[in-house]
Structures are given as C-alpha cells and as structure tokens.
Amino acid sequence: MTLRRKLLLVALCTLALPVAGWFDVRQMEALLRDGQAQALQASAQVVARSLVVTHAVPPAAGPSWYVQSAPGPITVDGYGDDWAPLTPWSQPFARRGQLLLAEDDDGLYLYARVADARRTRADAEDPNALLADHLILTLGNAAGQRRYLLASAAPGPLTALPLDPALAGLPDQLTARWQEDGSGYQVELRLPRQMDLLTLGVGAYDANADGDRMASDTRPLSRYSAALSSELAQLVPDRVQARVLSPSGWLLARSGRLDSAPGADGQPGWFASLVYRSLLATRLEDAELWSQDVPQLDTAEVRQARAGKAVTVWRHGEERGSVVLAATVPIEQSGKVEGMLLLEQASRTVPLLANRALFGLLLTSFGVLLVAGGILLAFATRLSLRLARLRNAAERAQLNDGRLDGQLGPGRFPMTDTPDEIGDLARSFEKLFVVVGGYTDYLRTLASKLSHELNTPLAIVKSSLDNLEHALQDHAALPDQAGPYLARARDGVARLGALVRAMSESSRMERSIETAEPEDVDLRDVVRGCADGYRPLIGTRRLECRLPESPLPLHGAPELIAQALDKLLDNALSFTPPDGWLRLSLSATADGAEIELANQGPMLPAAMQGRLFDSLVSLRDKATPGDAPHLGLGLYVVRLVAERHGGIASARNLDDGSGVAFSLRLRGMPRQRLGG
C-alpha cells in the first residue's frame, strides 16, 4: 500500500467526529423529549387535580354501560347494518351476549345480539315464556327500576311484557324488533329521551342451560359529556388534545385536536423524516391512527394509568415528520381511580431541531474530512516525491559493474541539507554510501592485489627450486630421494598459481553475470541450440533432448543460461562412462521454467549434495600428480546464473540409482524501470 493511501486511511479516522456528534445530537434529542414529556405530564397532573376539585368527573360506582353517539340515522328493524361502525366496541353481557347503546336527538337505541344455535321459542304473552329463550330488560330512573320480558316465537315486531308494577317515568309498553339467523338472535328497540334513565340492565336466558330466568346485569349509564368537555377545554394548554376516560377506558370528554399542520419552521422532507426516525428517535411507538376518534381506548399507557401510574410515551405522528407526545395520568379521589386524563401534543420542533443539528454536524464533519484529506494527500504527495528522489539517487549511485559512483562524495547526496527526518535519512545514506563504497572498492581489488602480491613469492619459490635442481646436478647427480620432493614442490607451486589466477577470474565472472542485460527469449531455442552443439563433443555417449511442444518465453540472459548449461555438461562428462547416456530436458513450472541435465554415473554423496554449488568445491580427484587442478567454479557459476534469474540450482540422485540429475529452476530476471 502506498504512502498516500495510508495517509488517506489515517484521514478517515476523522469520521469519528460525526459519529461522536451523532451521539451528542441523539442525547440532545433525548433531553429535549424528556423535558417536554415532564412538562406535559406536569400539566396533565394539574388538570387532573382541577377536575377532582371541581367534581367535574362523576364518581365511578363500578362498571357502567356506555352510550355512544349514533353514527347516523338508525332504523329499528332488528338488523345490525346501522350498527356496523360501532360493532368493534360492543359490550358483553350474560354468557354469549353483545350489547350496543347509541343515542341521537330522537332517543336511546339498544341493540342486543345473543349467540344461541339451539333455541326454544315463545311469545312474551305465553305463560311459559320465562321457560323459553328471552331477554330481561331493566330500566331505572330516580323513582326506581322496572323489568320487561322480551321474547318472540318468530322474527318480527314484539311487545315487551312488564314484569314489575308501573313506575312513574317508565313506559308500560315497549315495542322492539326480533330477528334470527342460524347462529342466534338479535333484538333492537328505541327508548324516548324523556325517560331520563339512570340505570339499565340486560340479561339473556338460555333454555338449554341453567341460570336465573329473571337475572339482568344492571349498570349506570355513562356517555360523552359536553359540559365536562367545555370545562376541560378551559383547563388544558393550547395546541394540546385532552381526553377524559372512564376507568374502563370509555371516552367521557374531549377537547382540542392534534395540531398536524406544518409550523412556522416548515415540514421536514421525507429524507429528513427517515433520518430522524432511523438514526435519532429510536424509541418511538407505532402511530395509532384509529385511536383519534374512538369511544374507548385500551392502550398500554391507559392500562398503566388505570393502575394508578402516570406514564408518558412518544409515538410517530400521523403527518410526515411529526411526533406525538402522550401523557396519561390517573384521576384519583380518596385513593380511588375515578378515571384517566390523556393529554396528547403533536410536535415537529424536536425532529426539526435534531435533524438540523445532525445535518449541520455532518456537513461540518465532512467538510473537515475533505480539507484534512486534501492536506494529507498534498503532504503525502510531497513526501512521496522526496522519497522518490532519495530512492533514485540511491539507485544511480550504483554503476553497472557493481561499483559505487565515485563522484558521490560528501555533500552531493540530495536533501542532505533538509532539517527533518528525510534529511537525516539522506545524510545517513550518504555516510553509508561513502563507507560501503570504500569497502566495496577494497574487496573488489583484493583478489587482484592478492594475486599480484602472491605472484612474486611464487616466482621466487619456483626459481629457487629450479636453481636448487641445477645446483645439485652441477655438483653431482641428483639423489634419488630428492626427485619426488622437487616434483611435489613444483606441483604445489603450480596449484598455488592456478588458485591465484582463479581468484581473479572468479571476481571478473561474478561481475559479468551481475551486469548481464536481460531480453525476452524462447527457452526452447536456447536449449535446442545447446543440445545441437553438445553432440559433437560427447564422443560415443548418447544425448537425449526433451522439449515442450509450445514456446516457453522467459525474460533473461540467454548467454548466461548457455554458459550454465556448458558448466553442467562439463561436469556431467567428467562422471559419465564412454558408453553412457545424458538427458537434457526443458519443462514449464508454475512461475517459470526448469532445465534438467541428467547423466549416467556414480551417485552423489549425501553429505555433499548441499555444498556442490559452493565456490571451490569439487568431487573430482585432486590427488593425481601432474594433472591440472580442478577449482570447483563450474557449479558455482551455475548457482550464480540461477540466482540472477530469480531461481535456484539443485542436484539429486535419480530414483532408479542409475545416475544424477542437475536442475536449473528459472523465474526470469526483473524488468528494468524507466522512471522513478
């Protein structure tokens, strides 16, 4: 990874700023909502105490029947079509009965449905009517209560039979409609508003089940109160919707509406609303659209208030970008919950403030990130250019023959006068090149110096041996014992001379291999050409050449590869019998090519397999007097050629024990770069 990319990654660490800012904005939004919730809850508690003090909320004397407002004109026909909008809030009675009560300017309407698949029918005037399926209706006013029997042997109109004596204000005759279907029966009737009913009771008797034939569930009537709503409107704050609920959750009074219109600050867009709901306001409940105009509420906060606990909750608003705060407190009197007060307030201020703070923070953070990234990129570019100058100077300091540039003296290395870490590095490089250059020159000339210095003592020793031999022969015949010693001395002098010449030759050979120029070649042509040239040189031996069918390209120095093969062939001929065989093969590898020369002959000693390619190591006989000494430079040259091509040289015994194989693995020489 380049330096510029690393610094850009470092610049990305500034992304921690918007993350930390997001936490701060989220905490700010939570504090704003908590403060608003506490304020609304305090207002709700004040309004609730005011309602208790003014006795505006009627005391709850147990369960009651709730009378809803009629959604439209109701026709008394015994069918429930007109009651469909009110059906979700039907009130259970008896074991399988559902009761609906509604009123309008014409009177109070009652609709009762009883699930009874097995019915026993009788008219109300029938003496056995109480033994059949029937309804008991109890009406009560200030004067008392009176019961009525509602029964019919067939669908249609019916007249209720009074079961109690006449009572002032209560009718002597009630008409109703009785309808049936396969699942049960339903009864519908209308009562005049002038009756001023205080209580109402209803009971259902099933002839196929045990029970009290005269039983009815009598409860007081509760309904929406316009007077309580008017008083409530004077107590609640502006732009707040208030609802008073009975302990069962029925709506007793209501004032105000949720203000869903955009405020002076406008309305958040869809993206801003999505950001607020996804990243900031994560504690919002789902919007309850149905709860705005319903006669009964049974939400979680209402149930908690019924248990005597004040609670606030935030939920999504009906309009885009709005939230609703609901505070529910119990209305308590003498330690008893007489009802619940629910205050709701729609707000766009909190989302707008939170969104603006978040977007402002993001814009600022990304602006800082861009500026910091640009500064770091410029700094990294300048730093990269300076390092490139330093690298180019270091590469130019080395000449093609391996020597260091002698002109690179003190004070001439670039950026040595810079007072920073790059300048320190340049000055260290300069010192290093001066020291290494001097040491390299010393090592490069050491072999020639040694050979020059050793030639004179060797010449003196050789001439002294010649003079000694002539002197002994001039005075008398050379003794028999002296001959072998003189021959050994001359052989040793010859070997020392060969070593001195080899030292100079080895130094020149290493330098020529290092300075060889690479090119793109086809190894098949190189190996084929070498094999064709070897056949006249191997005498009676057999040479097999194995080449791949397709070209095998490589970026390397073909003259060095041929030189290495020459050394391998020379080594193989030394150990291959006159009637033996040699095998030269070329194959492709995953990262380059492999050239192998196998020959018939003796096996390699296990202890020497790892040292064969070192300098001055040889397995040939060194003790034969008179022969030219073998210095072991051939396989060393093979190793240098392999390493110059990014590979290795190795030797192994053949699996069948017939000989040895020397392999040259090549990956190619690196391509030279044209620029810095």
The pLDDT of residue 90 is above 90: yes
Residue 447 maps to a domain = yes
State the Cα–Cα distance between residues 44 and 298, nearest whole angstrom. Answer: 19
Q: Which residue has the tokens 């029964």?
A: 151
pLDDT band at 505 (very low <50, low <70, confident <90, very high): low
The highest-confidence range among 106-120, 343-357, 362-376, by mean pLDDT, is 106-120
Residue 54 maps to a domain = yes
Tokens found for residue 305? 């208030």
Same domain for 77 and 155? yes
Same domain for 319 and 443? no
Nearest to 109 by CA among 145, 149, 152, 78: 78
Tokens found for residue 135? 């309804």
**pLDDT given for residue 504 in this prediction:** 61
Better-scored residue on pLDDT, 397 or 409: 397
Nearest to 306 by CA among 43, 60, 649: 60
**pLDDT given for residue 629 in this prediction:** 45
Q: How many CA atoms does the CB half-sphere of 444 hold within 13 Å?
A: 13
- Residue 672: how many CB atoms within 10 A of its CB? 7
Stretch among 252-256, 291-295, 340-344, 538-542 having the lowest mean pLDDT: 291-295
User: 3-11 and 349-396 helices cross at what angle (nearest 10)?
Assistant: 160
Q: Which of 357, 386, 419 is the last residue of a domain?
A: 357
| Mean pLDDT calculated for residue range 506-516 | 72
State the Cα–Cα distance between residues 369 and 11, nearest whole angstrom. Answer: 7
Tokens found for residue 318? 């009906």
Map 404-472 to HEC letters. ECCCCCCCCCCCCCCCCHHHHHHHHHHHHHHHHHHHHHHHHHHHHHHHHHHHHHHHHHHHHHHHHHHHH
Please write the tens of the pLDDT for every residue from 170-200: 999 899 999 999 899 999 999 998 888 999 9
The pLDDT of residue 276 is above 70: no
**pLDDT given for residue 503 in this prediction:** 65
Using DSSP's 3-state secondary structure scheme, residue 541 falls into: coil
Same domain for 77 and 209? yes
* CA-based torsion, 605, 610, 611, 614: positive or negative: positive
Give the chain's end-to-end CA distance (angstroms, integer): 17
Residue 116 belongs to domain spanning: 65-214
State the Cα–Cα distance between residues 667 and 647, nearest whole angstrom. Answer: 6
| Beta-strand runs (E) in 293-335 | 311-316, 323-333
Same domain for 509 and 522? no
Q: Regarding beta strands 184-191 and 174-181, do their DSSP bridges make them parallel or antiparallel, or are they unpaired? A: antiparallel
Same domain for 185 and 257? no
The pLDDT of residue 318 is above 70: no
Please write the tens of the pLDDT for every residue from 589-639: 998 999 999 999 988 877 665 557 765 555 554 444 444 444 456 787 888
| Mean pLDDT calculated for residue range 399-416 | 60
The pLDDT of residue 654 is above 80: yes
Q: What is the pTM of this model?
A: 0.53
Nearest to 175 by CA among 195, 156, 193, 199: 156
The pLDDT of residue 508 is above 90: no
The pLDDT of residue 360 is above 90: no
State the Cα–Cα distance between residues 647 and 182, nearest whole angstrom. Answer: 97
- Residue 126: how many CB atoms within 10 A of its CB? 16
Stretch among 31-45, 203-217, 647-661 having the lowest mean pLDDT: 31-45
Residue 204 maps to a domain = yes
Residue 274 maps to a domain = yes
**CATH number of the CATH domain containing 188:** 2.60.40.1190
pLDDT band at 405 (very low <50, low <70, confident <90, very high): low
pLDDT band at 256 (very low <50, low <70, confident <90, very high): confident
Same domain for 412 and 507? yes
In single-letter form, the type of residue at position 528 comes to R
Stretch among 92-101, 119-128, 169-178, 316-325 having the lowest mean pLDDT: 316-325
| Mean pLDDT calculated for residue range 244-272 | 73
The number of domains in the chain is: 4
The pLDDT of residue 676 is above 60: no
Tokens found for residue 260? 């869903």
Residue 384 maps to a domain = no
State the Cα–Cα distance between residues 500 and 462, nearest whole angstrom. Answer: 15
The pLDDT of residue 524 is above 90: yes
Tokens found for residue 381? 């570019």
Map 553-577 to HEC letters. EEEECHHHHHHHHHHHHHHHHCCCC
DSSP state of 127: T
Same domain for 206 and 244? no
Residue 674 maps to a domain = no
* Contacts of 571 by beta carbon, 8 Å cutoff, 6+ apart: 634, 635, 662
Same domain for 532 and 419? no
Q: For 141, phi and psi rounded to 5 degrees?
A: -135, -165
Q: Regarding beta strands 65-69 and 97-104, do their DSSP bridges make them parallel or antiparallel, or are they unpaired? A: parallel
State the Cα–Cα distance between residues 212 and 412, nearest whole angstrom. Answer: 120
- Residue 511: how many CB atoms within 10 A of its CB? 14
**pLDDT given for residue 401 in this prediction:** 47
pLDDT band at 267 (very low <50, low <70, confident <90, very high): low
State the Cα–Cα distance between residues 357 and 577, nearest whole angstrom. Answer: 93
* CA-based torsion, 78, 84, 86, 92: positive or negative: positive
Do residues 178 and 188 make contact, with C-beta atoms less than 8 angstroms apart?
Answer: no
Same domain for 195 and 101? yes
Environment class of residue 136 by beta-carbon count within 10 Å: exposed (0-12), middle (13-18) or buried (19+)?
buried
Same domain for 9 and 69? no
**CATH number of the CATH domain containing 481:** 1.10.287
* Contacts of 320 by beta carbon, 8 Å cutoff, 6+ apart: 267, 268, 270, 273
Please write the tens of the pLDDT for every residue from 67-77: 999 989 999 99
Stretch among 40-54, 371-385, 443-457 having the lowest mean pLDDT: 443-457
Environment class of residue 282 by beta-carbon count within 10 Å: exposed (0-12), middle (13-18) or buried (19+)?
exposed
Residue 103 maps to a domain = yes
Same domain for 43 and 141? no
Residue 366 maps to a domain = no
Nearest to 111 by CA among 135, 145, 144, 140: 135
Strand partners, 587: 594
- Residue 165: how many CB atoms within 10 A of its CB? 7
Same domain for 75 and 206? yes
Q: pLDDT averaged over the chain?
A: 82
Do residues 543 and 510 make contact, with C-beta atoms less than 8 angstroms apart?
Answer: no
Q: Which of 454, 485, 514 is the last residue of a domain?
A: 514
**CATH number of the CATH domain containing 343:** 3.30.450.20
**pLDDT given for residue 675 in this prediction:** 44
Q: Which of 154, 188, 214 is the last residue of a domain?
A: 214
The pLDDT of residue 277 is above 60: no
**pLDDT given for residue 644 in this prediction:** 87
Sheet holding 648-653, edge to edge: 542-546, 581-588, 593-600, 659-666, 648-653
pLDDT band at 394 (very low <50, low <70, confident <90, very high): confident
Environment class of residue 19 by beta-carbon count within 10 Å: exposed (0-12), middle (13-18) or buried (19+)?
exposed
pLDDT band at 264 (very low <50, low <70, confident <90, very high): very low
Tokens found for residue 174? 């009630």
Strand partners, 555: 520
Percent of the chain, pLDDT > 70?
78
